[in-house]
Amino acid sequence: MSNRPLRVLGVSGSPRKAATEFVIQEALRHAKEKYNADTQYFSVMDKKLNFCIHCDHCIRTREGCVFKDDMEEVYELLEWADAYILGSPVYQGNISGQLKTLLDRTRAMVAKNPTVFEGKIGAAAAIGGDRVGGQEPTLRSIHDFYMINLIFSIGGGAFGANLGATIWSKDKKAAGAEADKQGLKTLHKTVDRLISVSNKLRG
């Protein structure tokens, strides 16, 4: 086992300081307080994140993305972390456009270093206004990103958290997420799993 604490990056894919931010901060608090993880947080809120324009600059040069915007900050954090918890509000039954943009832009990292993500571990959290509003497709989209990029994809385990954390905010921002006690159980179970599998894989 490596001596240094596990590095966990939490990402909120919401453009607001609201339910998703609360959920990801709670995941990081749990990881830090229960497991002494070293944590970092990134939110898409107020960030300039250009769409990938498929110019292939990253493929041709292998020097990263043509855009110099707020992705620079998250590129560094994505490299730094051993484990991720990516969270998204459910928009039209799936991840937010902001999170999708962030994920698309990681193509430049892989173009530069094809194994940049290899061996990292990822879990997911989906926060919907409705009880069954598309949380599971949202989790699946995040897991697809992990699979494509050689990141080990971690659910929350059977009998409780299955594909990850599913939160019902009732469209009430942070207070709504905080009131969803069952949803928070899925979050804690997912983080517990993320940490235990990460520690096993680190040896």
Ligand X SMILES: Cc1cc2nc3c(=O)[nH]c(=O)nc-3n(C[C@H](O)[C@H](O)[C@H](O)COP(=O)(O)O)c2cc1C
Among 41, 70, 93, 157, interactor with ligand X by CB under 6 A: 93
By beta-carbon proximity to ligand X, the closer residue of 137 and 157 is 137
Binding status of residue 79 toward ligand X by CB under 6 A: no
Minimum distance from residue 186 beta carbon to ligand X (Å): 15
Q: Determine the Cα–Cα distance for residues 99 and 145; give it in Å rounded to an integer.
A: 11
Binding status of residue 175 toward ligand X by CB under 6 A: no
Binding status of residue 20 toward ligand X by CB under 6 A: yes
Backbone angles phi, psi at 123, to 5 degrees: -125, 170
By beta-carbon proximity to ligand X, the closer residue of 32 and 173 is 173
By beta-carbon proximity to ligand X, the closer residue of 91 and 117 is 91
Binding residues for ligand X restricted to 102-131, rule: CB under 6 A: 127-130
Contact region for ligand X (CB under 6 A) — 48-56, 75-83, 166-174, 182-190?
Answer: 166-174
Site size for ligand X (CB under 6 A)? 19
Name the DSSP class of 94: B
What is each CA distance from 141 to 2, 64, 132, 182, in whole angstroms? 31, 24, 16, 22
Nearest alpha carbon to residue 67 among 48, 85, 83: 48
Q: Determine the Cα–Cα distance for residues 165 and 183; give it in Å rounded to an integer.
A: 7
Residues 6 or more apart whose Cβ sits within 8 Å of residue 85: 8, 9, 10, 11, 24, 27, 28, 31, 122, 123, 124, 125, 190, 191, 194
By beta-carbon proximity to ligand X, the closer residue of 97 and 157 is 97
Residue with tokens 């993320």: 194
Binding status of residue 32 toward ligand X by CB under 6 A: no
Minimum distance from residue 28 beta carbon to ligand X (Å): 15
Interface residues with ligand X (CB under 6 A) are 14, 16, 18-20, 89-93, 127-130, 133-134, 169, 171, 173
